[in-house]
Structure 1
Amino acid sequence: MVFQDRTLVCSDCGDDFIFSIDDQQYHLEKGYTNEPKRCLSCRRARRASYNRGGGGGFGGGGGGGFGGGPQTYSIVCAH
């Protein structure tokens, strides 16, 4: 498959960004079927907002970007 740099429009800020050949190859290797919707700065801001949200037991950190994970609860056993 031959890739070329492509110009996309960020769905958050509306700025143009480049979907580079390297990024396209990475997406193919990971099995991603959708092209990115956000520029790098908006992706970083979105990830940072997940980490600040603090919902549940999701520790933040590594990859992804689809929500904060399942809600978790702590329980104390009376035994």
Structure 2
Amino acid sequence: MPDVDITCAECGNTFPFTEREQEYYAEKNLSQPKRCKTCRDARRSNFGGSGRSGGGERQRYEITCDQCGKTDSVPFKPSAGRPVLCGECFSASRA
């Protein structure tokens, strides 16, 4: 298998998919990559790691609790028009 040049779906740059990488992907029954290493790494860091448990720090969003008015941060982007609670109020609502 010769090396193959692939166009990154994210940035549009071409990157090599080496013979060794092709063998590894085939062994693991994976499809060929759609993104270059730089874009894959950036995507992983935006989604909190490698797609497995653990990994990098997840992005947090500053909020003002709709119940008590306290400021806090949450691990998701709040949706407009939907109430958002601080950790304390959320825990109390689940009890």
TM over 0.5: yes
Per residue, is there more strand in 1 or in 2?
A: 2
How far apart in 2 are the matches of 1:10 and 1:31? 20
Q: Which runs of 4+ in 1 moved over 3 A?
A: none
1:60 to 2:58 alignment: no
1:43 to 2:23 alignment: no
RCO (CA 8 Å, sep 6+): is it higher in 1 or 2?
A: 1
1:21 to 3, 19, 22: 19
CA contact (8 A) 1:50 1:60 kept: no
TM-score norm. by structure 1 comes to 0.62
- How many residue pairs align between the two structures? 55
CA RMSD of aligned residues (A): 2.3
Q: Based on CA coordinates, which of the two structures has the bigger radius of gyration?
A: 2
Q: Residue 47 of structure 2: SS of its match in structure 1? A: helix
Once the two structures are TM-superposed, the CA of residue 27 in structure 1 deviates from its matched residue by 0.3
How far apart in 1 are the matches of 2:46 and 2:23? 28
How far apart in 2 are the matches of 1:50 and 1:7? 26
Gaps in structure 2 of 5+ consecutive residues: 56-90
TM-score norm. by structure 2 comes to 0.52
Gaps in structure 1 of 5+ consecutive residues: 53-57, 62-73
2:3 to 5, 29, 50: 5
